Amino acid sequence: MGPPKSGPTGVYIKSQFLTKPQSAPPGTDLTGRAAIITGASSGLGFHACRHLLSLGLSRLVMAVRSPERGAAAASTLRAEYPSATIDVWSLEMTSYDSILSFVRRVESDDELPRLDIAILNAAVIKADFALVPATGHETTIQVNYLSTALLAVLLLPALKSKTLPGTPGRLTIVNSTAAYSPTLPNRSAVPFLSFFDDLAKTPYLFFDRYCTSKLLMHVFLVRLATHVDPREVVVNIVDPGYCKGSGLHHETKGVVGWCFDAAKTLTGRSPEEGAWTYVDAAAVKDGESHGCFVVDWKIGP
């Protein structure tokens, strides 16, 4: 997973204007398989659920922050795919207790006897600096990096043990080419992560912080892949591109919010197209994608 061959603008132009979106190849069949998707009640997470079900997925766990919105989304999918088993499980990514409780359910054979795919899609962009009271960490770093990394590691045993023998589990973390853009003013700080929690040490620029959280996830994925046998679990990260229908920027207001909305309207992929990148990374790409960044349906930028 090396640096891109062009700058952020070049990467954006290639992704949004020069790449033809793809669905899953003919013959892709997920019959009998089970998947977890976080952030599944809306946006790309919801459409990824729909795509997996359209390919025959037998069991879906929708991990959601709001059980009410999750129930509404699940009701829609159950009407479309009545033969599938679709469950809604609560998961609050700002809470380690919630993550641990969720993983205990995953580990229970009574709750989930099989698990083949996990797509970690939940993420935030916070317009204003805020600490998570329970952890003391800045919210963007907490959700996009610390909590996602914890959940990824804790899901590995189930992904190893609950798939069919000889078939690796699949762990895909949704990330972004925004990882190429952070300034990292505290890159030499020791300890490093605590500097993000103190405005006196590191100023808060919301998009730069988002980019930083994505860079940290890149670094984590590279290291994680060295400790995981791809014959047991294939781990990768994927960039869906800039997409309409994503609630990621919902907190950005004023001129900045207008710019994000305008860019989505003019250049964004549809949420259905963006969600196909998830399916490609998690269910189509083979072990060659282990430890890699899947961008525009290709391995590596």
Which residues are tagged catalytic?
Answer: 210, 214
Residues 296 and 14: beta-carbon distance below 8 Å:
yes
Q: Among residues 247, 274, 256, which one has the least CA distance to residue 205? A: 256
Task: Kindly provide the residue ranges of all beta strands, DSSP E only, lying in 83-232, ordered along the sequence.
Answer: 85-90, 117-120, 169-174
The token pair that represents 62 in the structure block: 């929708």
CA 211 to chain centre: 14
CA atoms of 171 and 168, how far apart (whole Å)? 10
Q: Which residues contact 9 (CB under 8 A, 6 or more apart)?
A: none
In contact, 123 and 248? CB cutoff 8 Å: yes
Residue 112 · residue 162 · CB < 8 Å: yes
